[in-house]
Amino acid sequence: MEFHLHVDGWVAWQYHHFSAQNRAWRRAAAMAGFHVPIKKETALKTKTLTVLLASLLSGSALAADIPLRDFFRLPEQSNFTVSPDGKSVAFLSPWESRRNIVVRRPGQPDKRVTAIKDRDLSGYFWKGNDRLVYVKDNAGDENFHLYSVDLKSGKTRDLTPFPGVRAEIVDDLVDNDKQLLISLNKRNPEIFDVYRIDLQTGKLTLEAENPGKVANWGTDHKGNIRIAIETDGVNNTVLYRDQPGGKFRKLMTTNFRENFTPLFFTFDNQRFYASSSLGRDKAAIVEYDPKTGKEAKEIYARQDVDVSGLDFSHKRKVITCAGFETDKPGRECFDPQSRELYAKLQSHFPGYQVDITSGNRNEDRFVVAAWNDKTQGKRYLYDKKSDKLTLLAEITPWLPEDKMASMKPIQYRSRDGLTINGYLTLPKGKEDAKDLPVIVNPHGGPWYRDSWRFNPEVQFFASRGWAVLQMNFRGSTGYGRQFWEASFKEWGGKMQDDVSDGVDWLVKQGVADPKKVCIYGGSYGGYATLSGITKTPELYRCAVDYVGVSNLFTFMKTIPPYWKPFLDSMYEMVGNPEKDKELLRERSPVFHVDRIQSPLLVLQGAKDPRVNINESNQIVDALKKRGVDVEYIVKDNEGHGFHNEENRFAAYGAMEQFFKKHLD
């Protein structure tokens, strides 16, 4: 989650192991908060005024006057995409406090084309020059529906109007403006069948019925299903067919510990590229030959981190760049045109990360994002032929870059010798300060990672004078197989020790005031929060649990039905409720509430499909039985994290007051 709401770590793990082409699916996650005015003192002594003036001049108080809402409110314009013909752009803009799609046509005023009032849409893309497709769930249930917007008629159609059914994109069929390949679990909640859907009529045609164990499907460049990946929960089998409609044959079976993820086909549709850790610790990009059943060649590998992403030019039929992440995002480009394009764009934006986020079919008009850790930056429309950049929008102009704090990559050693990478954000103007109040912020997942980026949540905390420590504890993705496997059956064990070791490191560095350290996290980070205040209660002054797991037994019983095929591997990674009963009981915070000494704030969405509301209810009820007051906020129209703007405002407002009470 990117409050971690980007993608839940378990979903990210599934994608990491079973991904097919999903290149049109870019899920946006917004974060928000609200402003509580700072109380003004009626009188200030001369010494206090001197200190305050010095603080202002040094920049340490520069961001303190920025309202909370400004850190978290929806951008006026964001998520830009260019139409296939390159003449129009679409973007998201708030209407009735919800993100809606707006289209900008040449010579015409901007036109809002959706009227969503209940919940932000989760992502959208163009299908032809006169149609947009978007996805949205209901109150956080994550049963995403697929909608089509006809720009000529202005009509919107729910393409998957099936209660309790989740729609996923299999192939966006970039050369076919009228159809999509999608998967639905409407026949069986636990498995997904593939359908071809007509965007004009809404007609669904069954393309492939799931025999029962297929976790993902892969298509060739013509949109034909050629790959199916089966799982028995522990072992994954890659199935392949040489021709569309032919019989699938087995290519390989791997244990879930091994990563072999087909990405896309070579341009003759005879081989395919994959992210593979077979015979390696760090995943590499390889070309695989189904005829021989062997890896044909290695495309790109690194010794320090996994390489999991690969892009290609649909027009020129060449692979372009591979993606990876060290302490910052990186790319390695293979063809001269891509290298030249990125070099040219980078020359326009020194000091910024530059990404191409959308392009037209002719690949001569692109949406370019320029950003860094202090700003979400600006978006431009780039014309390749004229080498001209046209500003589309500054995403958050009300958050001046010079008032934001730097997100510094850090490293420390765990008590058993692992290198733990992370990030430390110190309040602006307090980079050399000692004994600061600190918020320790373990990420969600847990098979996910924190990244160097603009994080409004972290920036908000820093603006209020609190340092923020984020760590990629063992199990965090991108650091290789051994580091990932080191997390197995270590929820609340060595994974939690990595968090504690980060606190100890920060205290020894002199940065943290050991009496003013709080812990806060969402999803698995919420579990780590509860685990922290039960396992090492002496470390934390206060704690905030955001949709966190409290009981590993009940958590595994209430997972969404489409996670159940992976339950056996979950048992190997976390623990089996029968075979590892004592371990799971020891690692479940709800059974150790008697150890909790810290004030606790709990936030929960009532319709959360991943971490059932019962997880929060249990920890709150157990503490109340001990006579301990717990601040508990539940939103009835939310799921795994608060998406609706007013709910996010309430959540971050409560956090601000809570941290002020215990850290200031």
Active site residues: 523, 608, 640
Residues with Cβ within 8 Å of residue 310, at least 6 apart in sequence: 263, 264, 273, 275, 285, 299, 300, 319, 321, 322, 323
3-class secondary structure per residue, 184-227 = EEEEECCEEEEEEEECCCCCEEEEECCCCCEEEEEECCCCCEEE
Helix (H, G, I), strand (E, B) or coil at 417: coil
As a whole number of angstroms, the distance between CA 376 and CA 621 comes to 40
As a whole number of angstroms, the distance between CA 490 and CA 163 comes to 37
For 650, phi and psi rounded to 5 degrees? -65, -40
Helix (H, G, I), strand (E, B) or coil at 496: helix
Q: CA distances (Å), 228 to each of 260, 262, 476, in order? A: 13, 10, 27
Task: Please give the single-letter amino acid code of residue 406.
Answer: S
Cα–chain-centroid distance for residue 34? 22
- Find the DSSP H helices in 168-319: none
For 377, phi and psi rounded to 5 degrees? 80, -155
* Max Cα distance, the chain (Å): 84
- Find the DSSP H helices in 578-612: 581-586
For 290, phi and psi rounded to 5 degrees? -65, -25
Q: Indicate the angle between helix axes 456-463 and 645-663, nearest 10 degrees.
A: 40
Q: CA distances (Å), 164 to each of 300, 561, 610, 638, 641, in order? A: 41, 11, 15, 16, 19
